Amino acid sequence: MSTSTCFALCADDFALSPAVTAGILEALAAGRLTATSAMTTQANWPDAAKSFRALAPRADLGLHFNLTLGGPLGKMPSFAPNDAFPAMNSIVPAAWRSALPRGEIRDELRRQLDAFENAYGAPPDYVDGHQHVQVLPGIADDLIAELSARGLAGKVWLRDSADRPRRIFARGKHWGKALTVAALARGFRAKARAAGFALNDGFSGFSDFDAQGDYATDFASFLRAPGAKPLIMCHPGHVDAELARLDPVTDSREAELAFLLSDRFMEILDAAGARLAPLSAM
């Protein structure tokens, strides 16, 4: 890696639960993150938005478009008939068969964007997706169309969850997940750029969410083979009953947060010749 390569470091799942929010805010206040992605479907979102405002100059705040955790903000009789989102493994094949109820999904996207602006008072700096739903066929087209209709082309950036195979293999870890997501995201980058949206170039951060694993070693691998505007995702936070009810990823969030707040995090950045910067500033 060349000297002083800039990386954006984004904590996903802001507002998922009060404890997750609190942990992400700790990392933001310590200058260990450059972005966080908000789940506006969650009850914690309005309070989380207020808490972020004091930190806004330091980091980007995005919409973590959610179609797989909890339930929607409005009725989705075909997609979420019991007011509960389906699992990702049922959404992917439906997307590839062009069998998703796209009208319902675009209405939910509008609701989540509106909830973001209503609580925060401004549009998101960027948009990504929980479990990378933003890159799926059909969903990607409607996301780009809706953001364009709101006049946000050229003003917000989008997460490209894919990376080039040679970069993925150069990192030497979690390449199965990374290659799977890259395949799902085929065509997303070209569509977004054609519509006038900026994207990251380079994406890493895939992990096994193993609280007993060595996350520091994983993180060092994320810094290898960067693109021109590399983005790393992470999932720090504290654990509470709300998180345990909603999501299987719990104790590994504590491990990631402890690493981000540690001296070892800075040592790994220094050894790699890396520094953190908001993607909007690259």
pTM of the predicted model as reported, rounded to 2 decimal places:
0.96
Once rounded to an integer, what is the mean pLDDT over residues 264-275? 97
pLDDT of residue 2: 45
Cα-based torsion angle of the residue sequence 134, 219, 259, 159 in order, rounded to the nearest 10 degrees: -20
| Residue range 22-70, pLDDT digits in tens | 999 999 999 999 999 999 999 999 999 999 998 888 899 999 999 999 9
| Residue range 242-251, pLDDT digits in tens | 999 999 999 9
214: tokens are 């060595």
CA dist 282 and 252 (Å) reads: 30
pLDDT of residue 3: 58
CB 161, CB 128: distance < 8 Å? yes
Once rounded to an integer, what is the mean pLDDT over residues 13-22? 98
262 phi/psi in degrees, rounded to 5: -90, 165
Indicate the average pLDDT of the chain: 96
Per the listing, tokens 């705040």 go with 61
Angle between helix 45-52 and 18-29 (nearest 10):
10
pLDDT of residue 1: 38
